[in-house]
Amino acid sequence: MKGRVSLTTLGCKTNQFESAAMEEYLRQTGYQVVPFEDGADLVIVNTCTVTSATDAQSRNLVRRARRLNPRCRVVVTGCYAQVDPEALLAIPGVSLVLGNEEKKDFLQWIEKSHAGQAVQVSPIREKTEASVLSTTVFAERSRAFVQIQNGCDAFCSYCIIPYARGRSRSVVPDEVVTQVAGLVEAGYPEIVLTGIHIGGYGNDLVPRQTLTDLVRRLESSTFVHRLRLGSLEPTEISDELIELMAGSSVICPHFHIPLQAGDDQVLQRMNRHYDAAFFRELVQRIHKRLPQAAIGLDVIAGFPGETEEEFANTLALVESLPVSHLHVFPYSRRPGTPAASMAAQVPSAMAKERAARLRALGEEKTRAFARRFVGQTMEIVVEGGGQNGWRKGLTTNYLHVQFRQGDDLPGKALLVRLTGFEDEGLVGELV
């Protein structure tokens, strides 16, 4: 036994996936993985840097680890480590700072740096190939994640991620197929394709590929039961992909699309390359072809310069669209991005108030979407957990369902008749 280790993670699904892979490698090497609160001998903090608030959360996790065990070694990695390693190395107790590219060899760096402090952060924008971790074990037994891409070339004015993750780099299709096939063999009924900017998949490959090409191949050459796509930029959702999804019994009818704003002037300031009319037409086209599809939107409230009229345009656009749920974020200034120095920064209280209005609208949309399916029989994949005898499951179109029957069910695909909608959401009974 090499000692006790804990991992704690902030941020996106890609970070969570990479932490799961690191945890598996640690177990295989002989470490005992324990909860963060147990005060491990080695603590790995996988950071996020999407806002200055997440930077602060990352620093607080390092300090908390040292309070739990003053003798622990703290290794910091992730996006904050990539863009500002010296700030993290200055925190007492940090022994090693690793960039995102160094995650793939993190065990070697940990073994090399037992004495003193060290920084291993390479210039990630220079990287041209995807070097991603892989894993066959996930805490959430019902779903497994496969990272198909890393990096981003969009350079939205509010976002630091292109500097933290580098240029868009795709995993070669053969490797993705092998990973998916292995996870299917391990018993996972649903596979989620994830990355930083998966709609750009294949642009860097020779010969050039598309996400649609990859999905079509996974459907035809593996026995995957359910395949779900991560977030897709609106300009990268092709008619070909919509048609593939509409004709498939494998690809989940679920779109996660970052709108960010519904006003053309705000979209320009964000450096988003579409307008409200384009977005409206896209969502209506998806809904017409796939009327049962879940369509979730990301929206930022209180972007610099956003007037009440501009916010009202966002609210009106979202209200008019057949969407199922919203992910709403009050704008938070991120140093190092163009938006951070823009004039007319919206007061934090106003941004939060606008976000609350959007969330209320999102809750109405979620209830209306869910109630459409009461009385239908749908397949769910049973999730772990549950309280007071209730189980939870997820439909292909991202509806969360509660039901009471059964014990040893997590990870199984079952049919449920949806019997009603209560305060906590949809309820059903096994068929």
> In this predicted model, what pLDDT tens digit does every residue of 44-53 receive, in sequence order?
999 999 988 8
Q: Which residues pair with 301 in a beta bridge?
A: 330
Share of the chain above pLDDT 70, in %: 97
Average pLDDT score over residue span 315-321: 98
Band the pLDDT of 1: cuts 50, 70, 90.
Answer: low
- Give me the amino acid identity at 178: T
How much is the pTM? 0.92
State the span(s) of the chain assigned CATH 2.40.50.140.
Answer: 377-430
As a whole number of angstroms, the distance between CA 65 and CA 35 comes to 11
Other C-beta atoms lying within 10 Å of the C-beta of residue 92: 9
Average pLDDT score over residue span 401-416: 85
pLDDT digits (tens, 9 = 90+) for 45-75: 999 999 888 999 999 999 999 999 999 999 9
Q: Is the sign of the CA dihedral 137, 139, 143, 149 positive or negative?
A: negative
Average pLDDT score over residue span 397-420: 89
Output Rg (C-alpha) for the chain, integer angstroms: 22
Q: Please report the pLDDT score of residue 52 as a whole number.
A: 85
pLDDT digits (tens, 9 = 90+) for 73-98: 999 999 999 999 999 999 998 999 99
Band the pLDDT of 381: cuts 50, 70, 90.
Answer: very high
Q: Look at residue 385 and tell me whether its pLDDT is greater than 70.
A: no
CA-wise closest residue to 302 among 342, 255, 256, 360: 342
Q: Which residues pair with 243 in a beta bridge?
A: none
CA-wise closest residue to 120 among 75, 167, 66: 75
Q: Please report the pLDDT score of residue 210 as a whole number.
A: 97
pLDDT digits (tens, 9 = 90+) for 304-313: 999 999 999 9
Average pLDDT score over residue span 368-393: 89
- Give me the amino acid identity at 374: V
As a whole number of angstroms, the distance between CA 6 and CA 41 comes to 8
DSSP 3-state of 68: helix
As a whole number of angstroms, the distance between CA 171 and CA 186 comes to 21
And the tokens for 385? 């957990």
Average pLDDT score over residue span 347-370: 97
Cα end-to-end span (Å), the chain: 47
Q: Look at residue 137 and tell me whether its pLDDT is greater than 70.
A: no
Band the pLDDT of 389: cuts 50, 70, 90.
Answer: confident
State the span(s) of the chain assigned CATH 3.80.30.20.
Answer: 143-364
Average the pLDDT over each of 136-145, 256-265, 347-356 and give the range with the smallest value. 136-145
Helix axes 276-289, 308-320, angle to 10 degrees: 10
Backbone conformation region of residue 116, classed left if phi is above 0, alpha if psi is from -120 to 50, else beta: left
CB 88 within 8 A of CB 130: no
And the tokens for 307? 């007037």
CA-wise closest residue to 315 among 348, 270, 364, 367: 364
Domain 143-364 has CATH 3.80.30.20: yes
Top-level class of domain 3-122: alpha beta
Q: Please report the pLDDT score of residue 142 as a whole number.
A: 81
Averaged pLDDT of the chain: 93
Backbone conformation region of residue 21, classed left if phi is above 0, alpha if psi is from -120 to 50, else beta: alpha
Other C-beta atoms lying within 10 Å of the C-beta of residue 71: 8
Say which residue, 411 or 414, is predicted with more confidence: 414
CB 413 within 8 A of CB 189: yes
Whether residue 207 has a cis bond before it, omega within 30° of 0: yes
Domain 377-430 has CATH 2.40.50.140: yes
State the span(s) of the chain assigned CATH 3.40.50.280.
Answer: 3-122
Strand runs labelled E in 189-345: 190-194, 226-229, 254-260, 294-301, 325-330
As a whole number of angstroms, the distance between CA 79 and CA 19 comes to 13
Average pLDDT score over residue span 170-194: 94
